[in-house]
Amino acid sequence: MHYYYIAIMLSHMGRKPKSQEERVSNRIEVIRIGLGMSRQQLADLLGVHYQTVGYIERGEYLPSLVLALQISKALATQVEDIFKLEEESN
């Protein structure tokens, strides 16, 4: 009985499957272009490769919390004005 309980608990503790994860959208590209900043310039400010900025802009990669805050600072924009949880359409 004890092992069964542990198995149940562990099965509920892991990450959600990709299909069930909440999606995050961002406005990095729009804000960056509005500031007249290139991907390379933003990447240099962040200390990352310019391709990383592209991956984040397209939603192919989610930045860490630290990187999200650095992006916010580099773009002089509140983090909640850059990143949004996408609403599920049911």
- Cα→Cα distances 89→22, 23, 79, 86, Å: 12, 12, 24, 9
Tens digits of pLDDT across the chain (90 residues): 555 556 555 555 555 555 556 789 999 999 999 999 999 999 999 999 999 999 999 999 999 999 999 999 999 999 999 999 987 655
- Please tell me the predicted confidence (pLDDT) of residue 18: 56
Determine the pLDDT at residue 10: 57
Please report the pLDDT score of residue 61 as a whole number.
94
Q: Which residues are within 8 A (CB) of 37 and not within 5 positions of it... i.e. 6 or more apart?
A: 75
Give CA–CA dist 52/69, Å, rounded.
Answer: 15
**At a CB cut-off of 8 Å and minimum separation 6, what does 45 contact?**
70, 74
pLDDT value of position 13: 52
pTM exceeding the 0.85 threshold for the entire prediction? no
What is the C-alpha separation between 82 and 54, in angstroms, rounded?
15
The pLDDT value given to residue 87: 77
